[in-house]
Structure 1
Amino acid sequence: MNVPVASETYAAQIRRLAELTARVAAQRAEAHAWYAQQCAAAERAVTGAAEQVRRAESEAAEARDLVERVDAETAHLWEELRTRVRSGGRRLGDPPGPAREATGDPVSRLRGVRDLLDRIRQRGELPGSANPLLVCCGIGGSLVAYALGMGARALGHGSSGDLAVGMPVLALVSTLLGPLVGLAPARLLADRRHAVLAPRAITVVVAAGLAATVLLLTLAPR
């Protein structure tokens, strides 16, 4: 037989049930909030990781482009250096590989190498020690021109008509141009020494050639 429950006890049970229900609802809400926070944190972490991956891929692509540019510039500069060394009578092998412990910006280092090669490419004047060779160039050019003039004059003497008239004129022109003929070997000498044929060197060659020409004309038989 059921025993009736006192109203105070029933009311207390109802209050307790309501408290438990509210507590469960609060815990459920707290669990949902925690879950939402964890999901948001996970999404932020995934987004951040994706951004880091994208940034890393971009940096890797830039690094590859930089390596390709550095390799291409290195090969170009090495080829210029090889050409410069080859012109000096020496040979240069393949470019060296990258140093494992190298530090610093490779672009600035290549810029320094490029500036150095530019300074090397700037030709200077022939030194004063080359003056004897320049004098020899002037004298040699005059001797060659005088010899050609003598040959033309001899050919004119053994001919008749227009040839007899034109050959002495050609011989005179060849002899007078003798001081300038030495500029050709002097230019080769300057190129060999990676220098320019400056006005001073030209003056030495022409003066020596002119003196030799005057001396040859003075000593020539009448």
Structure 2
Amino acid sequence: MNEPVASETYAAQIRRLAELTARVAAQRAEAHTWYAQQCAAADRAVAEAAEQVRRAEAEVAEARELVERVDAEATHLWGELRARVGPSARRLGDPPGPARDASGDPVPLLHGVRQLLDRTRQPGELPGSANPLLVCCGVGGSVVAYALGAGARALGAGSGGDLAVGMPVLALVVTLLGPLVGLAAARLLADRRHAALSPRPIALVVAAGLAATVLLLALPR
């Protein structure tokens, strides 16, 4: 038969069992707390990662939109440049692609190119070196008008009736329009040089044309 256990030993075993039970419960509670903390941290990490992905997708979409807008603006500016160059624009080819080492915001660069094209689109004034050509335009226009007037006078002199009376008047009017003919030639000169026909060139052409017309009318016939 089993020997009876002393009450002191039984009580000690009960206390130890209670201690072990309490320790296991504490460890179990600690494990549950650690697991809950790890799950919360994992949830926060997943939420932060999802937010980072959302921001990255938004940045990618914004960057793609910026690239499309920059490409469209670059193509438009390239077309304006080709229009400014004229017939020799075939040598320019297609718009250049993005540079590999490009950095920074392209919007200010495009704005600078747009301002440069706007400045080149505005015609300047003819330089002083074009003054001899302007004088030639005025004199040439007067000579052409005088020659037409001389032809009209000759036609009137060889005819009778109303032509004999009207042609000299018409010849005088055509001769006096010589400076205006010179202005038409000066306009062509300014257009070829992409310049504006300002008051100074106009005055020079008109003065040269009037002087030539007066000299031609003063010649003996």
Q: TM-score, normalised by structure 1?
A: 0.88
Cα separation, 1, equivalents of 2:193 and 2:133:
12
1:122, CA displacement in angstroms?
Answer: 2.8
> Kindly tell me: are residues 203 and 76 of structure 1, through their superposed partners in 2, closer, same or farther at Cα, counting changes over 3 Å?
same
Q: Does the residue aligned with 1:103 lie in a helix, a strand or coil?
A: coil
Cα separation, 1, equivalents of 2:108 and 2:138:
47
The question of 1:198 aligning with 2:221 is answered: no
Deviations 1:118-170 (A, max 9, x none): 33223221111111111111112112222333333344442534x55544333
> Kindly tell me: are residues 71 and 101 of structure 1, through their superposed partners in 2, closer, same or farther at Cα, counting changes over 3 Å?
same
Which residue matches 2:101?
101
> Kindly tell me: are residues 12 and 138 of structure 1, through their superposed partners in 2, closer, same or farther at Cα, counting changes over 3 Å?
same
Cα separation, 2, equivalents of 1:91 and 1:171:
50
Paired residues for 1:1-222 under 5 Å: 1-86=1-86, 91-157=91-157, 158-161=159-162, 164-219=164-219, 221=221
- Runs of at least 5 residues in structure 2 that lack an aligned partner in the other structure: none
Whichever residue aligns with residue 126 of structure 2, its letter is L
Whichever residue aligns with residue 36 of structure 1, its letter is A
Whichever residue aligns with residue 139 of structure 1, its letter is V
Cα separation, 2, equivalents of 1:93 and 1:23:
83
Range with bigger deviation, 71-80 or 182-191 = 71-80
Q: TM-score, normalised by structure 2?
A: 0.89
Does the 8 Å contact 2:83/2:89 carry over to 1? no
Cα separation, 1, equivalents of 2:150 and 2:60:
76
Cα separation, 1, equivalents of 2:144 and 2:89:
29
Cα separation, 2, equivalents of 1:112 and 1:183:
36
Cα separation, 2, equivalents of 1:41 and 1:135:
89
CA RMSD between the two structures: 2.2
Range with bigger deviation, 95-104 or 133-142 = 95-104
Does the 8 Å contact 1:85/1:91 carry over to 2? no
Q: Does the residue aligned with 2:68 lie in a helix, a strand or coil?
A: helix
Deviations 1:58-116 (A, max 9, x none): 11111111111211121122222222223678842222221111222212222222222
Does the 8 Å contact 1:82/1:92 carry over to 2? yes
- Runs of at least 5 residues in structure 1 that lack an aligned partner in the other structure: none
1:117, CA displacement in angstroms?
Answer: 2.3
Whichever residue aligns with residue 129 of structure 1, its letter is S
- The percentage of aligned residue pairs carrying the same residue is 81
Range with bigger deviation, 117-126 or 145-154 = 145-154
Does the 8 Å contact 2:82/2:89 carry over to 1? no
Range with bigger deviation, 163-172 or 33-42 = 163-172
Cα separation, 2, equivalents of 1:7 and 1:30:
34
Cα separation, 2, equivalents of 1:150 and 1:119:
46
Range with bigger deviation, 21-30 or 152-161 = 152-161
Cα separation, 2, equivalents of 1:67 and 1:220:
75
